Amino acid sequence: MPGPGGPGGRMRGPRPKVENPGKLLMNVFRYVLKNYTPHVIIVVICIFIGVLANVQGTLFTQTLIDDYILPMLKTPGKADFSQLAHAIQRVAVFYGIGVVSTYVYSRIMVNVSQGTLRNIRSDLFIHMESLPIKYFDTHAHGDIMSIYTNDIDTLRQMISQSMPQMLNSAVTIVSVFLSMVYLNIPLTILTIVMVTLVFFISGKIAGKSGRFFGAQQKDLGKLNGYIEEMMEGQKVVKVFCHEEKSKAAFNELNEQLFSSAYNANMFANMMGPINAQLGNVSYVVCAIAGGLLALNGVGGFTLGGLVSFLTFNKSFSMPINQLTQQMNSIIMALAGADRIFRLLGEEPEADDGYVTLVNAKKENGKLTETDERTGLWAWKHFHKAEGTTDYVELTGDVVFDDVDFGYNDDKIVLHNVDLYATPGQKIAFVGSTGAGKTTITNLINRFYDIQDGKIRYDGININKIKKADLRKSLGIVLQDTHLFTNTVMENIRYGKLDATDEEVIAAAKLANADGFIRRLPEGYQTMLTGDGSNLSQGQRQLLAIARAAIADPPALILDEATSSIDTRTEKIVQDGMDKLMQGRTTFVIAHRLSTVRNSDCIIVLEQGRIIERGTHDQLIDLKGKYYQLYTGKPAEKKDAAAG
Partner 1 sequence: MLKTLGAQIKEFKLASILTPVFMILEVIMEMVIPLMMASIIDDGVEKGNMHHIYVMGGWMLVAALGGLLAGSLGAIFGAKAATGFARNLRKTMYENIQTFAFANIDKFSTAGLVTRMTTDVTNLQNAYQMILRMCFRAPFSMIIAMIMAFNINARLASIYLVAVIILGICLMLIMTRTTKYFRQVFKKYDDLNASVQENVSAIRVVKAYVREDYEKEKFTKANSNLYNMFVNAEKILVINTPLMQATVYTCIMLLSWLGAKMIVAGDLTTGNLTSLLAYCMNILMSLMMLSMVFVMITMSMASAERISEVLNEKTDMTNPEKPVMEVSDGSIEFRNVNFHYKQQGGDPVLKNINLSIKAGETIGIIGGTGSAKTSLVSLISRLYDVSDGEVLVGGVDVRNYDMEVLRNEVSVVLQKNVLFSGTIYENLRWGDEHASDEECQHVCRLACADEFIEKMPNGYQTMIQQGGSNVSGGQKQRLCIARALLKKPKILILDDSTSAVDTATDARIRKAFAEEIPDTTKLIIAQRVSSVQHADRIIVMENGEVNGFGTHEELLANNEIYRDVFESQTGGHGDFDEGGAA
Q: Which residues contact 203 (CB under 8 A, 6 or more apart)?
A: 324
Q: Is 571 in the site for partner 1 (CB under 8 A)?
A: yes
- By beta-carbon proximity to partner 1, the closer residue of 206 and 294 is 294
Per-residue H/E/C for 472-519 = HCEEEECCCCCCCCEEHHHHHHCCCCCCCHHHHHHHHHHCCCHHHHHH
Beta strands (DSSP E) in 23-83 are none
Beta strands in 308-413 (DSSP E): 356-363, 366-369, 377-383, 388-393, 398-405
- Torsion angle, alpha carbons of 302, 303, 307, 310, to 10: 60
Q: Are 401 and 388 in contact (CB under 8 A)?
A: no
Closest distance of CB 282 from partner 1, Å: 9
Tell me which amino acid residue 299 is. G
Of 342 and 592, the one with the shorter C-beta distance to partner 1 is 592
**Which C-beta is closer to partner 1: that of 23 or that of 291?**
291
Smallest separation (angstroms) from partner 1 to the CB of 246: 7
552: left (phi over 0), alpha (psi -120 to 50) or beta: left
The correct pick among 35, 161, 265, 487 for binding partner 1 (CB under 8 A) is 265
Nearest distance from C-beta of residue 363 to partner 1, angstroms? 28
Nearer to partner 1, 3 or 459 (CB): 3
Identity of the residue, 167 or 401, whose beta carbon is nearer to partner 1 in the bound complex: 167
Binders in 340-369 for partner 1, by CB under 8 A: none
Q: At closest approach, how far in Å is the CB of 617 from partner 1?
A: 12
**23 vs 118 by CB, closer to partner 1:** 118
Residue 222 in contact with partner 1, rule: CB under 8 A: no
Nearer to partner 1, 188 or 209 (CB): 209
Q: How far is the CB of 387 from partner 1 (least distance, A)?
A: 29
What is residue 471's three-state secondary structure? Answer: helix
Q: Which residues pair with 368 in a beta bridge?
A: 361
Sheet holding 398-405, edge to edge: 414-421, 398-405, 452-457, 460-461
Contacts with partner 1 in 618-637 (CB under 8 A)? Answer: 625, 628-632
In a 3-state reduction of DSSP, which class is residue 526?
coil
Which listed residue (29, 136, 182, 200) binds partner 1 by CB under 8 A?
Answer: 136
- The closest alpha carbon to 547, from 504, 590, 581, 487, belongs to 504
Alpha carbons 46 and 106: distance in angstroms, whole number: 9
- 98 burial level (CB within 10 Å; 0-12, 13-18, 19+): buried
For residue 100, how far is the Cα from the chain centroid? 38
What's the angle, vertex CA 400, arms to CA 395 and CA 406, rounded to 5? 130
- Detail the DSSP E strand segments found in 234-327: none
Stretch that binds partner 1, among 190-198, 333-341, 366-374, 569-577 (CB under 8 A): 569-577
Applying CB under 8 A, which of residues 15, 471, 509, 623 lies at the interface with partner 1? Answer: 471
User: Smallest gap, in angstroms, from Cβ of residue 364 to partner 1?
Assistant: 32
Minimum Å distance from CB 476 to partner 1? 4
Min CB(505)–partner 1 separation in Å: 19
Q: Judged by CB, which is closer to partner 1: 15, or 472?
A: 472
Nearest approach in angstroms of CB 386 to partner 1 is 29
Q: Within 5-64, which residues bind partner 1 (CB under 8 A)?
A: 6-8, 57, 60-61, 64
Dmax (CA) for the chain in angstroms is 127
When computed from its CA atoms, the radius of gyration of the chain, rounded to whole angstroms, is 36
Query: What character string, x for contact with partner 1 (CB under 8 A) and - otherwise, covers 282-301?
Result: -xx--xx--xx-xx------
Smallest CA-to-CA distance from 285 within 199, 187, 173 is with 187
Of residues 578 through 617, those in contact with partner 1 by CB under 8 A are 591-594, 596-597, 606
Contact status: 385 vs partner 1 (CB under 8 A): no
Site for partner 1 in 75-114 (CB under 8 A): 76, 79, 81, 84-85, 88, 91-92, 95, 98-100, 102-103, 106-107, 109-111, 114
When binding is defined by CB under 8 A, the residue of 59, 128, 344, 413 that contacts partner 1 is 128
The residue among 160 and 425 lying less far from partner 1, judged by its C-beta, is: 160
Q: Which contacts of 83-87 are long-range, i.e. CB under 8 A and separated by 24 or more positions? A: 87/60, 87/63
What does the chain come to in residues? 643
| Binding residue for partner 1, selected from 40, 306, 443, 465, defined by CB under 8 A | 306
DSSP for 75-87, please give it.
STTS---HHHHHH
Site for partner 1 in 156-215 (CB under 8 A): none
What is the spatial order of strands in the sheet that 366-369 belongs to? 366-369, 356-363, 377-383, 388-393
Taking CB under 8 A as the binding criterion, the range among 328-336, 451-459, 501-509, 535-543 that sits at the site for partner 1 is: 535-543
Give the distance from CA 170 to its chain's centroid. 33
Nearer to partner 1 among residue 13 and residue 18 (C-beta):
13
Q: How many residues bind partner 1 (CB under 8 A)?
A: 157
Nearer to partner 1, 23 or 34 (CB): 34
The contact pattern for partner 1, residues 429-468, with x = CB under 8 A and - = no contact, is -xxxxx----------x-x-------------------xx
Choice from 27, 35, 161, 254 touching partner 1 (CB under 8 A): 254
**Rounded to the nearest whole angstrom, what is the least distance from the CB of residue 244 to partner 1 in the complex?**
8
State which of residues 29, 38, 138, 232 lies at the interface with partner 1 (CB under 8 A): 232
560 binds partner 1 (CB under 8 A): no
Which residue stretch of 18-26, 174-182, 278-286, 322-330 sits at the interface with partner 1 (rule: CB under 8 A)? 278-286
Among 20, 34, 37, 130, binds partner 1 (CB under 8 A): 130
User: Which residues within the stretch 473-502 sit at the binding site for partner 1 (CB under 8 A)?
Assistant: 474, 476, 478, 482-485, 494-495, 497
The residue among 154, 164, 114 whose CA lies nearest residue 340 is: 154
Residue 207 burial (10 A CB sphere; 0-12, 13-18, 19+): exposed
Tell me if residue 301 falls in helix, strand or coil: coil
- Rounded CA separation 87/94 (Å): 11
Residue 468 or 641: the one with the smaller Cβ distance to partner 1 is 468
| 362 Cβ contact partners less than 8 Å away, ≥ 6 residues apart | 368, 376
Q: Tell me the C-alpha distance between 421 and 427, whole Å.
A: 7
Does residue 377 touch partner 1 according to CB under 8 A?
no
Which residue, 73 or 641, has its beta carbon nearer to partner 1? 73
